[in-house]
Amino acid sequence: MDVRNMEPLYIKINPKDNVAVIVNKGGLKKDTLLDGGFKLLSDIPEANKVMLEDVSKDEPIIRYGEIIGYAKSDLKKGSWLHEDKVRLPRACPLDNLKSGYMVDHYNPLEGYTFLGYRNDDGSVGTKNILGITTTVQCSEGVVNVAVDRIRSELLPKYKNVDDVVALNHLYGCGVAIYGDNAEIPIRAIRNLSKNPNFGGQLLTICLGCEKLVPTILFPKIENDDLVVLQECHGFKEMIDEIMRKAEKKLEKLNSRTRVECPVSDLVVGLQCGGSDAFSGITSNPAVGFAADLLVRAGAKVMFSEVTEIRDAVHLLAPRTKDDKVLKKLVREMKWYDKYLEKSHVDRDANPSPGNKKGGLSNVVDKALGSVAKSGTTSIVDVLSPGERIKKRGMTYAATPASDFFCGTMQLASGMTLQVFTTGRGTTYNLKISPVIKVSSNSTLKEKWFDLIDLDAGRIATGKKSIEEVGWELFKLIIDVASGRKKTYGDIHGLYNALGIFNPAPIT
């Protein structure tokens, strides 16, 4: 089915909905007759919403069977629901939420394996990387030079090692190291350094006078794991010392080989960015289906982005397995509410201009589509930012919604592969773990044919079902985790800087 030539098509998700999303590429023109016998009152772009009923001022706008807002003025059937016509509803009260004590009754998914790098602690990596941790931003320039030298002079000798990565960040000094919330960036840096893709062979570079001394991160750190720049005699000795100790790590990493591992050894992160109104219809539900498959196979899976689930938290509470997990979920929502309130930021500050151009009316609309990534299984645990994932199944890992911070904090939580959905398109990618990019619409896949790894837009046009795309994604996850396939981001070498979340005071 060619979306450019097909009949006018829109998608209504729930029978209660009074809006629908235009599917046709390029949108539809004024006076187009839609199924149901009504005409469009104006041009409506692709992915944007059309009113299916007359709605009076202050009456609810309904999508996904949920209220996404209230009409600011009378709205006519066939009109374009632009975001400035919708008033944001109040946030869901957190103290009224109830756990559903959800117990999963799915059939285990057995027999699926991938080729991974097994570590001494039992974790399994999808890449084989030398990670070099910095304790303070002051060291970044030296470490970057050393990394370039290691990549060009040492890596060619160690064919089993994929790369060397500097774990740079903006923390470490000029900060209230024991202030409120300082545990968040410190925990994140520590746990990022322990990501399974580093194989336990970490090298730490410190300046020598910073507040984040190495023993705060690693109390039992040994001399072979540490270089102190202020103890070196000049720049050449700094680089030589880093390269000497790095080569010892490379020798150990080079002995790692891929071995067959059950899918239960995967740690998969789920994220979205550059979302549009298709995201909650196609890509996120397909990812949710694949997430259910991963959970059935025993994997650890996490979803995140506090501001993009806050307005759908009432749908997540019944999925918590007990009151303890619900209490953690509420705690993270309340913490972020207060975090935003301190800066007098409305939660609707989340959607970007691109999100709105892509048909998302507000943060409620965005959140209701975002949670579809989490699938349908029980939520077995909730993590504070940067905590390591502990349990098999679906975990909520609290992070900011910003792509770079979310991705980095998921890496700190132990993620070894990420699935990232987008409707508008983004070149975001991580060097430490593979990132599979899934488009919510086929228009984006056609335009970014060599950047999008999987097209979920085929769901909107009827070419594929959610289940079919979900299975495609599940199998692609296994192939990418095994190194049999590379993501386009890795093929092109597109990598973003790390973003350690730091809500603590800077002095």
pLDDT in tens, 274-286: 999 999 999 999 9
pLDDT of 469 reads 98
Query: Tokens for 376?
Result: 């349908």
Using DSSP's 3-state secondary structure scheme, residue 333 falls into: helix
Task: Say if residue 40's pLDDT is above 90.
Answer: yes
pLDDT band, very low/low/confident/very high, at 346 (cuts 50, 70, 90)? confident
> Burial of 20 by CB count in 10 Å (0-12 exposed, 13-18 middle, 19+ buried)?
buried
The arithmetic mean of pLDDT across residues 184-189, rounded, is 98
Q: What is the pLDDT of residues 476-502, one digit of tens each?
A: 999 999 999 999 999 999 999 999 999
The tokens describing 165, both together, are 């990565």
pLDDT tens, residue by residue, 401-435: 999 999 999 999 999 999 999 999 999 999 999 99
CATH number for the segment(s) 10-87: 2.30.130.110
Banded model confidence at residue 3, pLDDT cuts 50, 70, 90 = very low
CA distances from 294 to 62, 339, 419, 457, 460 (A): 32, 33, 12, 22, 24
H or E element at residue 330: helix 323-342
pLDDT digits (tens, 9 = 90+) for 47-75: 999 999 999 999 999 999 999 999 999 99
Give residue 2's pLDDT.
47
Q: Which CATH architecture has domain 117-253?
A: 3-Layer(aba) Sandwich (3.40)
Residues 451 and 492: their CA atoms lie apart, in Å, by: 9
What per-residue confidence (pLDDT) applies to 434?
98
User: Cα dihedral sign for 272, 277, 282, 285?
Assistant: positive
Instruction: Report residue 434: phi and psi, to 5°.
Output: -65, 145
Q: Tell me phi and psi for residue 60, to 5 degrees.
A: -75, 145
Q: Could you write out the DSSP letters of every residue in 406-437?
A: HHHHHHHTT-SEEEEEESS------SSS-EEE
Q: What is the pLDDT of residue 36?
A: 83
pLDDT at residue 224 above 60?
yes
Cα separation, 268 vs 41, in Å, equals 44
Mean pLDDT over all residues of the chain? 96
- Has residue 462 got a pLDDT over 90? yes
> Rounded to an integer, what distance in angstroms lies between the CA atom of residue 39 and that of residue 327?
48
Domain range annotation of the chain = 10-87, 117-253, 265-492
Asked whether the predicted pLDDT for residue 271 surpasses 70, the reply is yes
Q: What is the pLDDT of residue 350?
A: 86
What average pLDDT does this structure show over 294-301?
A: 98
As a whole number, mean pLDDT of residues 347-366 equals 92
Percent with pLDDT over 90 in the chain: 96
- pLDDT, residue 349, reads 85
Query: ∠ CA(38), CA(40), CA(43), 5° rounding?
Result: 165
- Answer whether residue 226 shows pLDDT above 70: yes
**How many Å apart are CA 286 and CA 474, to the nearest integer?**
10
pLDDT for 397 equals: 98
Question: For residue 29, what pLDDT band results from cuts at 50, 70 and 90?
Answer: very high
Q: CA-to-CA distance for 441 and 275, rounded, in angstroms?
A: 10
Query: Cα-flanking dihedrals φ and ψ of residue 465, to 5°?
Result: -95, 165
At position 141, the amino acid (one-letter code) is G
Q: How far apart are CA 232 and CA 143, in angstroms?
A: 14
pLDDT of res. 5: 54
Per-residue pLDDT, 1: 40
> What is the mean predicted confidence (pLDDT) over 186-194?
98
Fold match between domain 10-87 and domain 117-253: no
* pLDDT over threshold 80, residue 202: yes
DSSP E strands in 355-405: the ranges are 379-383, 393-397
